[in-house]
């Protein structure tokens, strides 16, 4: 009985954090200064990812990864299938769906592997770094395979591509690193400033077993 109740509490918490993440994504997308994005996609200072990353911290890796994958699926539908729409065939569309959404967002749940992150500040920094680097790698791969071909449509991205001798992988790595790094810094600043409060909340929830 207690296990069932604990499971329900975890599902409620995951659903709540996902709702907060979606709301933050929509709200920040409407506010000038907070809606800054890269020329061909990729939100700078993306604080909407924080609630998703906290799922793993609060309830462990299984729910963390599952919740993050669900968020990726929600984002796919909220984007109106935007990225997959530009794929030239089904194989490319599936590649985009998996690498740009399922894996890239699902990686955020890897913070659950560092469930003691709120015991020491450095642990959260490490957990968020691992999660965002896996996300970066997934986005870089799909960017090199597909999206680098769109670089010539924008002056800034075209200049970046030319500056790396038209290397699609290096171009994609740099492009995705810019918004990943700004998000990493922003999220860690927020967490470090509210670290004590988050630690108290985690202790009160007592769900990460």
Share of the chain above pLDDT 90, in %: 68
Kindly state the average pLDDT of the residues 188-203. Answer: 91
CA distances from 3 to 8, 103, 154, 208, 209 (A): 9, 29, 54, 13, 11
* Structural tokens at position 105: 């967002």
- Domain layout of the chain by residue ranges: 2-205
pLDDT (tens digit per residue) in 87-126:
677 888 889 899 999 999 999 999 999 877 677 888 899 9
| pTM of the full structure | 0.91
Average pLDDT, the chain: 90
Beta strands in 66-127 (DSSP E): none
Task: Name the one residue in this structure whose structure tokens are 């970066």.
Answer: 136
- Using CB atoms within 10 Å of the CB of residue 151, give its burial: 0 to 12 exposed, 13 to 18 middle, 19+ buried: buried
pLDDT (tens digit per residue) in 8-17:
899 999 999 9
Kindly state the average pLDDT of the residues 154-179. Answer: 97
Kindly state the average pLDDT of the residues 155-184. Answer: 98
Check residue 87 and give its pLDDT.
67
Closest CA to 199 of 114, 116, 112: 116
User: For 2-205, which CATH class?
Assistant: mainly alpha
- Rounded CA-CA distance 151/12 in Å is 42
pLDDT (tens digit per residue) in 30-49:
888 778 999 998 999 999 99
């Amino acid at each position: 009985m207690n296990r069932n109740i604990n499971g329900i509490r975890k599902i409620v918490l995951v659903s709540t954090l996902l709702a907060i993440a979606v709301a933050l994504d929509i709200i920040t997308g409407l506010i000038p200064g907070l809606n800054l994005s890269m020329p061909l996609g990729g939100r700078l200072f993306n604080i909407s990812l924080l609630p998703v990353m906290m799922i793993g911290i609060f309830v462990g890796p299984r729910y963390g990864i599952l919740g993050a994958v669900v968020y990726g699926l929600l984002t796919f539908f909220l984007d109106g299938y935007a990225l997959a729409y530009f794929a030239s065939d089904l194989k490319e569309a599936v590649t985009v769906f998996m690498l740009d959404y399922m894996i890239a967002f699902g990686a955020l749940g890897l913070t659950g592997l560092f469930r003691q992150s709120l015991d020491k500040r450095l642990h959260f920094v490490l957990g968020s770094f691992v999660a965002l680097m896996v996300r970066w790698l997934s986005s870089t791969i799909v960017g090199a395979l597909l999206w680098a071909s769109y670089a010539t449509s924008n002056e800034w991205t075209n200049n970046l591509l030319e500056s790396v001798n038209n290397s699609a992988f290096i171009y994609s790595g740099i492009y995705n690193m810019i918004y990943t790094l700004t998000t990493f810094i922003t999220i860690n600043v927020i967490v470090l400033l509210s670290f004590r409060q988050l630690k108290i909340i985690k202790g009160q929830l007592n769900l990460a077993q």
